[in-house]
Amino acid sequence: MNQTHIRTDDAQIRQLFHDFMQAWTDNDAAAFGALFTEDSDYVSYDGTRATGRAEHQRNHDKLFRGVLAGSALVGELESIRYVAPDVAVLHGTASVLMPWRSSLPRRRLSRQTVVLVRTPEGWRFTAIHNGRVRPVTVPEPNSLPSKMSQLMTRVAHRLGAGRRLTPA
For residues 72 and 24, the answer to whether their CB atoms sit within 8 Å is yes
* Domain membership of residue 10 as a residue range: 3-132
Residue 147 belongs to some domain of the structure: no
d(CA 149, CA 146): 5
> Does some domain include residue 161?
no
Q: Within a domain: residue 149?
A: no
CATH number of the structural domain spanning residue 125? 3.10.450.50
Q: Averaged over 50-64, what is the pLDDT? A: 96
Is residue 168 domain-resident? no
- Whether residue 123 lies inside any domain: the answer is yes
Q: Is the pLDDT of residue 135 over 80?
A: no
Least confident among 109-113, 122-126, 148-152: 148-152
The tens digit of pLDDT for each residue in 36-45 reads 999 999 999 8
Q: How many domains does the chain have?
A: 1
CA distances from 99 to 27, 67, 109, 127, 139 (A): 12, 11, 16, 28, 39
Residue 32 lies in a domain: yes
- Residue 52 belongs to a domain: yes
Within a domain: 118: yes
